[in-house]
Amino acid sequence: MFLYLSKLLPLFFYPLGLVCICLLLALLTLWRHPRLAATIVGLALFFLLLSSNAWIASLLVRSLEWQYLPLAELPNAEAIVVLGGATRSALPPRPTVDLNEHGDRVIYAAQLYRQQKAPLIVVSGGRIDWQDNTNSSESQDMAAILTSIGIPPEAIIQESQSLNTYQNAVNVGKILESHHIHRILLVTSAIHMPRSFMIFKRQGINAIPAPTDYLVAKSEFEGLAHTPKAAILNLLPDSNNLQNFTAAVKEYIGILIYRLRGWL
């Protein structure tokens, strides 16, 4: 039940869900309280414009991503741990497993392995049954991608039971203990790294952040006001900005919920 609510309830606090709620309230109050309805519509429009412009979205994403910037030289470790959420199952008409917008995690883990940063890759992630009708877990999908690009199967350890980041840390911790692994490189998207690193640290795991999949690059952020025209254009609504803003809000809500649960 907690898992279901944790996925459902935050939707009402994301920009699109919040705007839909406001518009529904405006519709319900339109006939008897037209001024109130107009105010609600105005608030919905303001929030939509606020969350879909590049300035606000980039600032919010940057506040998470830039907490862990890449190290000049990553130290060696005993394993590379990759968190799920990077694949799409091989459901027709897909010919095979696809990488989604977070697929950089899997590619980066393979690159670190080829750089001999660690001899093992632990892929962690199950599959929520009401979100997907396949029997393949995220860890199996990531393993399939890794082996297809030349990572030997014996170098991959799968953890297929986790359904959220907390379970990733708990279940991976058990695997690390059984293999006597004491230091890992933690690979996940940069926006997800603050919450992930805190959870792994709380579990007593010696993790070195290895973030990837940055949504905001330094040059892109500086370019927001590169010219007066750019500064104005970046105020205009854009669906990509709305998606980035939502991703950052999701992480902040996750951090709050995990703190309340005592997981951080």
pTM of the shown model? 0.91
For residue 223, the model assigns a pLDDT of: 87
91 lies in the same domain as 187: yes
The residue range of the domain holding 61 is: 2-65+221-261
In a domain, 73, yes or no: no
Both 143 and 241 in one domain: the answer is: no
Write the CB contacts of 236 (distance below 8 Å, at least 6 apart in sequence).
53
- At a CB cut-off of 8 Å and minimum separation 6, what does 100 contact? 85, 86, 87, 88
In a domain, 70, yes or no: no
Same domain, 106 and 145: yes
**What crossing angle do the helices spanning 15-29 and 34-51 adopt, rounded to 10°?**
170
Q: Would residue 12 count as lying in a domain?
A: yes
Query: Is the domain of 237 the same as that of 183?
Result: no
Tokens 């396949």 found at: 134
Q: Does 240 reside within a domain?
A: yes
Residue 72 lies in a domain: no
Residue-by-residue pLDDT tens, the chain, 264 positions = 555 555 666 667 789 989 999 999 999 999 999 999 999 999 999 999 999 999 999 999 999 999 999 998 999 999 999 999 999 988 889 899 999 999 999 999 999 999 999 999 999 999 876 555 667 899 999 999 999 999 999 999 999 999 999 999 999 999 999 999 999 999 999 999 999 999 999 999 999 999 999 999 999 888 888 888 888 888 899 999 999 999 999 999 999 989 999 998
Any domain includes 17: yes
* Same domain membership, residue 198 and residue 102: yes
In a shared domain, residues 134 and 91 = yes
Please indicate, yes or no, whether residues 99 and 163 belong to a single structural domain of this protein. yes
**Structural domain total, the chain:** 2
Domain shared by 150 and 247, yes or no: no
Evaluate whether residue 214 is within a structural domain.
no
Same domain, 107 and 164: yes
> Residue 233: inside a domain, yes or no?
yes
Tokens of 66: 């830039």
Among 165, 188, 209, the domain boundary falls at 209
Q: 80 - beta bridge partners?
A: 121, 185
Q: Is 19 in the same domain as 111?
A: no
Cα separation, 55 vs 112, whole angstroms:
33
CATH of residue 122: 3.40.50.620
Residue 89 shares a structural domain with residue 142: yes
Residue with the two structure tokens 């830039």: 66
Q: Which residue, of 167, 189, 209, is where some domain finishes?
A: 209
Taking all residues of the chain, what is their mean pLDDT, rounded to a whole number? 92
Task: Please indicate, yes or no, whether residues 58 and 126 belong to a single structural domain of this protein.
Answer: no
Buried b (16+ CB within 10 A) or exposed e, 120-159: bbbbbbbbeeeeeeeebbbbbbbbbbbeeeebeeeebbbb
